[in-house]
Chain A
Amino acid sequence: MNRLPLLLRIAANAGASLVLAFLVLPILAVVPASFNKASFIYLPPRAWSGVWYERFLADPEWHTSLVNSVEVATLATIIAVVLGTLAAIGLRRIDGRLRMLVTGLFLAPMIVPVIVTAVALYRSALDVGLSGTILGMSLGHAILALPFVVINVGIALRAVDDNWLRAAAGLGASPWRIFRTVTLPNITPGIVGGAIFAFITSFDEVIIAVFMAGYASKTLPVKIWESIRLEFTPVIAVAATVMIALAIILFALAQAFSRQTGSRKTGSPSR
Chain B
Amino acid sequence: MTAAGTHTQPKARAALLSRRHAETAFLLGPALVVLALLFVVPLARLFSLAFIDPAGPFATFGVLAESAVYRQVMWNTFVVAVMVTALCVLLAWPVAYVLSRLEGVWFGIALYGVLFPFWISVLVRTFSWMLLLERNGPINRLLMSAGITEAPLALLFNNVGVLIGMIHILLPYMILPLYGAMVRIDRRLLLASDGLGASLVDTFRRIYLPLCLPGLAGGATFVFLLSLGFFITPALLGGSNAITLSMLIASFVNDRLAWSLAAAGSLALLAIVLVLMGLAARLLPIERGLFAR
- Contacts of A20 on B, CB cut-off 8 Å? 95, 110, 113-114
Residues facing A in B90-124 (CB within 8 A) are: 91-95, 97-99, 110, 113-114, 116-117, 119-124
Cβ A251 vs Cβ B124 within 8 A: no
Task: Give the distance in Å from the alpha carbon of A117 to the alpha carbon of B140 in the complex.
Answer: 38
**Taking the complex as formed, is B131 at the interface, i.e. its CB lies under 8 A from any CB of chain A?**
yes
- Contacts of B49 on A, CB cut-off 8 Å? 123
Give, as a whole number of angstroms, the nearest-CB distance from A188 to chain B. Answer: 18
Cβ A26 vs Cβ B35 within 8 A: no
Give, as a whole number of angstroms, the nearest-CB distance from A256 to chain B. Answer: 14
User: Contacting chain A: which of B24-32, B60-68, B145-153?
Assistant: B24-32
Cβ B231 vs Cβ A115 within 8 A: yes
Cβ A207 vs Cβ B231 within 8 A: yes
- Contacts of A175 on B, CB cut-off 8 Å? 23
Q: A244 touches which one: B41, B92, B120, B274 (CB < 8 A)? A: B120
> Which chain B residue has the least Cβ–Cβ distance from A144?
B39
> Which chain B residue has the least Cβ–Cβ distance from A113?
B229
Cβ B20 vs Cβ A93 within 8 A: yes
Cβ B116 vs Cβ A251 within 8 A: yes
- Contacts of B23 on A, CB cut-off 8 Å? 93, 175
Cβ A247 vs Cβ B119 within 8 A: yes
Q: B35 touches which one: A2, A91, A146, A207 (CB < 8 A)? A: A146
Main secondary structure of the interface of B (DSSP, over half): helix
Interface size on B, residues (CB 8 A): 82
- Given A90-B27, A200-B119, also A116-B270 (CB < 8 A): yes
Cβ A114 vs Cβ B231 within 8 A: yes
Task: Give the distance in Å from the alpha carbon of A228 to the alpha carbon of B123 in the complex.
Answer: 10
User: Contacting chain A: which of B7-15, B51-59, B187-195?
Assistant: B187-195
- Contacts of B138 on A, CB cut-off 8 Å? 29, 43-44
Give, as a whole number of angstroms, the nearest-CB distance from A91 to chain B. Answer: 7
**Taking the complex as formed, is A151 at the interface, i.e. its CB lies under 8 A from any CB of chain B?**
yes
- Contacts of B262 on A, CB cut-off 8 Å? 119
- Contacts of B277 on A, CB cut-off 8 Å? 111
Counting chain A residues whose Cβ lies within 8 A of the other chain, the interface size class is 35 or more
Cβ B117 vs Cβ A120 within 8 A: no
Cβ B39 vs Cβ A117 within 8 A: yes
- Contacts of A106 on B, CB cut-off 8 Å? 31, 35
Cβ A112 vs Cβ B231 within 8 A: no
- Contacts of B250 on A, CB cut-off 8 Å? 115, 119
* Interface flags, A100-120, vs B, CB<8A=1, else 0: 001001101101111111011
Task: Give the distance in Å from the alpha carbon of A143 to the alpha carbon of B42 in the complex.
Answer: 12
Task: Give the distance in Å from the alpha carbon of A241 to the alpha carbon of B171 in the complex.
Answer: 22
* Interface flags, A207-229, vs B, CB<8A=1, else 0: 10001000000000100110010
Cβ B123 vs Cβ A204 within 8 A: yes
**Taking the complex as formed, is B203 at the interface, i.e. its CB lies under 8 A from any CB of chain A?**
yes
Cβ B91 vs Cβ A19 within 8 A: yes
Cβ A30 vs Cβ B246 within 8 A: no
Task: Give the distance in Å from the alpha carbon of A221 to the alpha carbon of B123 in the complex.
Answer: 7
**Taking the complex as formed, is A262 at the interface, i.e. its CB lies under 8 A from any CB of chain B?**
no
Cβ B43 vs Cβ A228 within 8 A: no
Q: B31 touches which one: A86, A115, A207 (CB < 8 A)? A: A86
- Given A102-B32, A119-B253, also A16-B128 (CB < 8 A): no
Cβ B132 vs Cβ A23 within 8 A: no
- Given A86-B30, A175-B23, also A29-B128 (CB < 8 A): yes
- Given A114-B231, A224-B123, also A23-B168 (CB < 8 A): yes
Give, as a whole number of angstroms, the nearest-CB distance from A271 to chain B. Answer: 23
**Taking the complex as formed, is B143 at the interface, i.e. its CB lies under 8 A from any CB of chain A?**
no
Task: Give the distance in Å from the alpha carbon of A44 to the alpha carbon of B138 in the complex.
Answer: 8
Task: Give the distance in Å from the alpha carbon of A94 to the alpha carbon of B21 in the complex.
Answer: 10
**Taking the complex as formed, is B269 at the interface, i.e. its CB lies under 8 A from any CB of chain A?**
yes
- Contacts of A170 on B, CB cut-off 8 Å? 1
Task: Give the distance in Å from the alpha carbon of A19 to the alpha carbon of B110 in the complex.
Answer: 10
Q: B273 touches which one: A41, A89, A113, A237 (CB < 8 A)? A: A113
Cβ B127 vs Cβ A236 within 8 A: yes
**Taking the complex as formed, is B38 at the interface, i.e. its CB lies under 8 A from any CB of chain A?**
yes
* Interface flags, B185-221, vs A, CB<8A=1, else 0: 0010011011000001001100110000000000000
- Contacts of B194 on A, CB cut-off 8 Å? 1-2
Q: B27 touches which one: A29, A89, A146 (CB < 8 A)? A: A89
Among A28, A108, A140, A240, residue most surrounded by chain B Cβ atoms (within 10 Å): A240
- Contacts of A143 on B, CB cut-off 8 Å? 34-35, 38-39
* Interface flags, A119-132, vs B, CB<8A=1, else 0: 11111100000000
Give, as a whole number of angstroms, the nearest-CB distance from A207 to chain B. Answer: 6
Cβ A1 vs Cβ B204 within 8 A: yes
Task: Give the distance in Å from the alpha carbon of A13 to the alpha carbon of B136 in the complex.
Answer: 32
24 interchain pairs (CB within 8 A)? A2-B194, A15-B95, A16-B94, A19-B91, A19-B92, A19-B95, A20-B113, A29-B138, A30-B128, A44-B138, A86-B27, A93-B27, A106-B35, A111-B273, A116-B43, A119-B46, A121-B42, A123-B42, A139-B38, A140-B38, A204-B123, A206-B122, A221-B121, A236-B127
Q: Which 5 A-B pairs have the closest CB atoms?
A: A113-B229, A90-B27, A15-B94, A90-B28, A204-B121
